[in-house]
Structure 1
Amino acid sequence: MRRLWPLTVRGTGALILAVGCFVTANEFGIAELVYFGILLVAVIVAAVASLYLSRRSDVVTRSLMPDVAAVGRESMVRVTVGVRTALPTPPGVWHDTLPKGLRGTAEGVFPALGSGLRRAERVVQLGYTVTGVRRGVHAIGPLAVRSTDPFGLARRQTLFGERTSVTVAPALVDLPALTDFAGETGGTLHTTTNQLGQGADNLVARPYSPGDSMRRIHWRATAHRDELMVRQEEQESTPEASVVLDRGVLRWSTEAMHEPGADPGFEAAVSACVSAVARLVHDGYAVEVLDSDGTVLAERIDGGDMAAVEALLTHFATLAARRDDSLARLTRLFTGVMTGPVIVIVGRFDASDAAAIAPVVHHSTLPMLFAVSPVGDALDRAADHGWRVGIIDPDGDLAQAWGNAVARGVSHVVA
């Protein structure tokens, strides 16, 4: 806040002393005290003038490294202050205002500057480290610089109103790889093995066409079909996976609809969602991210495209819950489809939900279900239907819960 009273404790004491000198001189007729009081007032006025009469123009810009902050991750903030002043300015103390989504110590010493009448604008570089604590888009600023005169009698606080918007993405957790389970889930390890020809036949037979080389005749298929068949290489498709985040507000608190970061359970679910996507993409899966009602939350991300994962993190910085509850309709999204891993992330989850989404298991090579607030034995029932289940605890270890779920366990890990 901008202080209205321009004097420090020392300056206020000097002013009180000057007034006391005038009063005493008037009561007791001591002329010397009048001169002393005038001297004190003159020094105080000079101190205030040295701070408030200097004309200065300041421009503040900020940059973040990396460009997007994340919950639990440190980022470096660089502050550039361009200063042009007619009179020399004393040193001071600066403080940058941090929003509730960031935590750090944003203060330090602001250097003294000489006269800039004959010089170009001077640039002052400041810096500090922040840690993301709440998902969303937040504004850093304003920057405050507090200066005092050389005698410590007067003070001035200057606010530079420029604010800088900072995006805080959800926390990204490094989850155990699925490559150890690739033979079951259809992951990249299985694909690579097939491409190397180690125990897999990537050749299919088709009817002979005029012009086909006789060296490509598939004699076994010819005998079986009773017509001439030739070998044709079958191109393997990229393994696919789906991550479903149920945003129905009935499964979360109402705060999850209005402000990112307000509901710890929803924040843990969003973090689990982006972490699962990052793991699958890193393992080579082409991943689609959906809501339980079929809404596409992110365009298909090709295997290995980690730049698209970073874009997903930025996009999910403002993701919120929605009004409708449509988990029971999840089965429709996979009707007639056979895909790789299907990761479903929900909030409140009960026995009726377990029965409603049971058919999805038959359309996935690795069905995984994570709930923040399971009710009763709902997860046990889901496991009986074939889901690999886990509990997401906002204060727990998501990586361990993920690993245990992949290994067909029911995990509930508290930090």
Structure 2
Amino acid sequence: MSAGAPRGAGGPGDGGGLRASLSGLTTRGRSFLAAGIAAAACAYVLGQGELLRVGLLLALLPLICVYALHRTRYRVSGSRRLSPDRVPAGTEARVQLRMDNVSRLPTGLLMLQDRVPYVLGPRPRFVLDRVEPGGHREVSYRVRSDLRGRYPLGPLQLRLSDPFGLVELTRSFSTYDTLTVIPRTEPLPPVRLTGESNGYGDGSRRSLALAGDDDVIPRGYRRGDDLRRVHWRSTARYGELMVRREEQPQRSRATVLLDTRRLAFDGAGPDSAFEWAVSAAASSLVHVLEQGFSVRLLTDTGDSVPGEGGGGFSSGGQESAEAAGLMMDTLAVVGHSDGAGLSRAYDAVRAGGGGGFGGGGGDGLLIAFFGDLDDVQTELAARMRQRTSGAVAFVLDSASWGGQPAPGHAVPPLEERLRRLGDAGWTALAAPPGVAFGELWRRAGTARVATGTTGGRE
């Protein structure tokens, strides 16, 4: 929840001076003022006293309303709450607004308006009745976007008016919130793309508590630990209760590589090939995280999410949930890059760290989403397969999606690219429009079992 007060020391009724208040005259107020001045001038020329009084009344009424509205001394505070603040594309979010009267005077009629980008829908407006001192009013509205991105909501605006509708003053709050629209995801079937059914396994376990007492690596006692694991020699040495560590699983690693090169994709919009690749990458990230993998998101620019610590891979527990949110936030705003090749991504894959790509472990899973690949980039992508336990490529062809390759970008036929990737050990599938990613994911698992892919390590 965020809260703020309208700009100006005295709240909505203060600030800006009489000149700013005069600028708030409505069309009706200006008409009254002009008619009053004209009537007064005619009365002076014609010597009509009655007409002069009418003219003065017409001219003074809007000025009195300006002064009365300017001298209003009540103060209000506003807050906005998003529920939730991160939603998939095409899903609604609820925005709740609350106005509190923190002054000792009741308010008049208020018009509440919130600024929202046009992609989220029409600008919401609400009319609030008189708010008693210390009282509050709550209103809500819904927003929805079919386009991923980060959208600011606010600042909140209050429109004050007099009972005659001659003057309207607008005061803005200073705070705003951000709605993050992440790509759509779909549940994926549990297929085996590596030598393990999930990110944990006996083949990945590392024993930290060896047989001999001298080799034990103890840790401090935690509430709930089995007392049979207490290591008394270490307890005597450190002066606090110590227990033996149990075998801990080493999480297998997975990298989701997203090709964002502008020349690799043609077209834009929710139904474009690039948006399909972004949504499919998001679905892959969610799925492998649920399977217990340590995951990172990589783009052709070589940027890795989460950061470079630990090779850029997520950790377990709460840190894994935070890393998942960070990766989804990145996919919410990812756009086309101006890069021409995949060399930076290749270097990042090669430098993935121990237990993953490079560093001797070589047990990482690579899931890639490629656009148009020329001969050089196809060869580079094929070499990424080395030192991985499994590699799956989903290749999007501009011609299949109703577009054209970038000018000067010679692209081999789709079948040729798939064959070359397959010869290098990839499980390579074409991603045509109209096919659900869940079906392609299932085909990838079936194709791997049929071909008996085991990995092409160096």
Question: Counterpart amino acid of 1:112?
Answer: D
Q: Aligned-pair distance for 1:164?
A: 2.0
TM-score (ref. length: structure 2) = 0.62
CA distance in 1, matches of 2:21, 2:67: 16
| CA deviations over 1:151-182 (Å, ceiling 9, x no partner) | 2222222222x1324152531411422x2x33
In structure 1, the partner of 2:419 is: 381
Contact 1:145 1:157 in 2 (8 A): yes
Of the three residues 141, 146, 152, the one matched with 2:154 is 141
Could you tell me which residue of structure 2 aligns to residue 159 of structure 1?
172
Matched, 1:22 2:34: no
Q: Does 1:8 pair with 2:30?
A: no
Distance (whole Å) between structure 2 residues aligned to residue 363 and residue 86 of structure 1: 72
Instruction: Tell me the CA shift for residue 129 of structure 1.
Output: 1.7
For residues 1-400 of structure 1, the aligned pairs below 5 Å read: 5-85=23-103, 88-99=106-117, 103-113=120-130, 116=133, 120=134, 122-132=135-145, 135-160=148-173, 162-166=174-178, 168-177=180-189, 179=190, 181-182=191-192, 186-188=196-198, 238-246=251-259, 251=264, 268-291=276-299, 296-298=304-306, 299-301=312-314, 308-314=323-329, 316-317=331-332, 321=337, 325=341, 326=343, 327=345, 329=347, 332=350, 334=357, 338-339=362-363, 341-361=365-385, 363-364=387-388, 366-372=390-396, 375=411, 376-377=413-414, 379-382=417-420, 384-385=422-423, 386-391=426-431, 397-400=436-439
CA distance in structure 1 between the partners assigned to 2:80 and 2:54 by the alignment: 48
Distance 1:33 1:402, change over 3 A: farther
Structure 1-normalised TM-score? 0.68
Instruction: Note if contact 1:249-1:323 (Cα within 8 Å) is conserved in structure 2.
Output: yes
Q: CA deviation at 1:252?
A: 6.9
Distance 2:77 2:90 in 1: 30
Give the conservation status (yes or no) of the 8 Å contact 1:245–1:273.
Answer: yes
Higher strand residue share: 1
CA RMSD of aligned residues (A): 4.3
How many angstroms does 1:103 deviate by? 0.6
Which ranges of structure 2 fall in alignment gaps of 5 or more residues?
Answer: 1-19, 206-211, 213-246, 307-311, 352-356, 399-410, 449-458
For 2:417 and 2:175, the matched residues in 1 are separated by 47
| Pairwise CA distance, 1:142 | 1.9
Number of residue pairs aligned between Structure 1 and Structure 2: 355
SS in 1 for 2:33: helix
Cα-to-partner distance string for 1:213-239 (whole Å, 9 max, x where unaligned)? xxxxxxxxxxxxxxxxxxxxx998655
Rounded to whole Å, the distance in 2 between the matches of 1:236 and 1:271 is 30
Cα contact 2:200–2:293 (8 A) shared by 1: no
